[in-house]
């Protein structure tokens, strides 16, 4: 080979080598980045080129797919009773991507997950159309219906858990929205999405999982647990040395009770929980001190920003920098204390489960399109905020609240129910309507199958008529009845 030809051959060889290096770089290094690039329209086209797999509740699909003539997209997502299930499913939109379970399990639902490679290969060889897999949830349809209908026109949220496993049974948020209204790419669906974004009531916000509220007196259950666990109180029926009113430490500020409750002076833990004495629990918080109160709250899940259900929950908060009077206020659910409805359901579930807190989860199985199980969730213990003995003492006190205290609206004949009301004041000089809370659990001879937290953020009720026992407890009762099939 003469010299010019040899140079051309070497140059061509270098070009081929560069091409091979580039192809392999794109294929094996940049593939994921390019696939997830928001400007890569091929990903969206492929996502909606086949019927999307379903999200399942109680063996039935709460989602679906329909054919569409929207440009390049062949299929569009549909939802059954979308408003009720939106806090669980999230949405899958041809234009606005996806969120919650639709987003987290997009690979399973579109059939593109690596674990479906064998199934997809068999389908390709047999000429079968590719379809998505299934996400099987832990939700209880009747409990969800009771929670959603119980909220009705009121703004608020409900979370219900099986205390023995951590399985989420209900997750309702109101007001809500129908994901079907924003699933496609029509002009009307675009307008619907913009309206939802601008709505001051934030219907797309998942209040049950992501929103934090002042927990008010429901936090007294955490304070009571801390008092028992740290040995400040051993006998829940023994009188305390609490004055009424109680002067916050290092201040001249009186901490009063909400209404005349003569039994709050020197009240026992049981009596203080029954009528919800601010004075007793404020003094317990100050006597315990910040570190012990925070330590117990953390065991219940507070200050943990990585609670994944698998959708990540909002971070519930107890201040780690508060002084003594602030600790007293935190002990009654004020100051900077904030909690999601899921968090307060976790508190109740741990008490009902003899002190053992299970990791909350809402996906039971992932299935291939041929219904083979490719992933199964196993219940996991998250922590032990209480000893069994102390948990049973607290159960006894919470059951007194429902039997003859502020939570009688949650009674269910023939069933043992424990609970705690809360009316969380907010705004300057309490100028805004308070949050109405109720947390509860039901027990049978076989244990507790359900723990519930309800918060009513706003309603048409007059301010004086807003209370946890009046607004939130009846919703919790309906959810517990649905799980118990009563």
Strands 55-57 and 134-137: parallel
Helix then strand then coil, in percent of the chain rounded to 5, is 40, 20, 35
SS3 of residue 103 by DSSP: helix
Cα–Cα distance for residue pair 150/174, rounded to 1 Å = 10
Q: Per the structure block, which two tokens stand in for 448?
A: 């507790």
Phi/psi region, residue 227 (left: phi>0; alpha: psi -120 to 50; beta: rest), is alpha
Active site residues: 217
Whether 406 contacts 415, CB under 8 Å:
no
Return the residue matching tokens 């905020």: 385
Whether 265 contacts 241, CB under 8 Å:
no
SS3 of residue 244 by DSSP: coil
Cα–Cα distance for residue pair 209/315, rounded to 1 Å = 10
Return the residue matching tokens 């007001």: 175
Cα–Cα distance for residue pair 56/136, rounded to 1 Å = 5
- Which of 395, 359, 440, 452 lies closest to 165, judged by CA? 359
Strands 155-161 and 60-61: unpaired
Q: Cα dihedral sign for 236, 241, 243, 249?
A: negative
Please report which helix (H) or strand (E) contains residue 374, including its range.
Answer: strand 373-376
Whether 453 contacts 468, CB under 8 Å:
no
Beta strands in 148-282 (DSSP E): 155-161, 168-174, 246-247, 254-255
């Amino acid at each position: 080979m003469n010299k010019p030809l040899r140079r051309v051959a070497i140059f061509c060889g270098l070009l081929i080598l560069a091409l091979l290096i580039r192809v392999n770089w794109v294929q094996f290094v940049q593939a994921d980045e390019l696939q997830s690039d928001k400007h890569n329209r091929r990903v969206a086209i492929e996502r909606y080129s086949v019927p999307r797999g379903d999200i399942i509740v109680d063996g039935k699909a709460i989602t679906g797919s329909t054919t569409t003539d929207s440009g390049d997209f062949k299929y569009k997502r549909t939802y059954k009773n979308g408003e009720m299930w939106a806090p669980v499913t999230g949405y899958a939109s041809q234009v606005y991507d996806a969120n919650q379970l639709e987003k987290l399990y997009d690979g399973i639902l579109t059939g593109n997950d690596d674990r479906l490679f064998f199934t997809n290969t068999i389908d390709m060889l047999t000429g079968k159309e590719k379809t998505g897999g299934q996400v099987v949830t832990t939700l209880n349809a009747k409990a969800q219906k009771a929670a959603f209908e119980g909220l009705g026109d009121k703004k608020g949220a409900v979370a219900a858990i099986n205390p023995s496993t951590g399985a989420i049974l209900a997750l309702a948020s109101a007001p809500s929205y129908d994901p079907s209204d924003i699933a496609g790419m029509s002009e009307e669906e675009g307008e619907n999405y913009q309206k939802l974004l601008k709505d001051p009531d934030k219907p797309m916000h998942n209040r049950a999982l992501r929103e934090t509220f002042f927990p008010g007196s429901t936090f007294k259950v955490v304070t009571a647990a801390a008092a028992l666990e740290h040995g400040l109180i051993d006998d829940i029926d023994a009188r305390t040395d609490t004055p009424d009113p109680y002067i916050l430490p290092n201040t001249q500020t009186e901490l009063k009770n909400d209404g005349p409750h003569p039994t709050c002076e020197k009240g026992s833990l049981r009596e203080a929980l029954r009528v919800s004495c601010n004075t007793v629990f404020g003094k317990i918080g100050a006597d315990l001190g910040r570190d012990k109160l925070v330590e117990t709250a953390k065991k219940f899940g507070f200050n943990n920003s990585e609670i994944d259900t698998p959708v990540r929950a909002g971070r519930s908060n107890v201040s780690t920098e508060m002084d003594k009077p602030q600790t007293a206020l935190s002990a009654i659910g004020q100051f900077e204390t904030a909690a999601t409805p899921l968090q307060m359901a976790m508190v109740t579930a741990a008490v009902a489960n003899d002190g053992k807190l299970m990791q909350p989860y809402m996906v039971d199985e992932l299935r291939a399109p041929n219904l083979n199980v490719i992933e199964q969730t196993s219940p996991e213990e998250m922590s032990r905020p209480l000893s069994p003995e102390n948990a049973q003492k607290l159960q006894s006190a919470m059951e007194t609240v429902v039997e003859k205290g502020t939570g009688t609206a949650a009674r269910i004949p023939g069933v043992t129910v424990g609970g705690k009301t809360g009316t969380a004041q907010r705004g300057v000089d309490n100028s805004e309507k308070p949050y109405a809370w109720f947390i509860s659990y039901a027990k049978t001879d076989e244990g507790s199958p359900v723990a519930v937290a309800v918060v009513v953020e706003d309603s048409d009720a007059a301010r004086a008529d807003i209370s946890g026992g009046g607004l939130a407890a009846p919703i919790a009762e309906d959810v517990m009845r649905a799980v118990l099939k009563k």
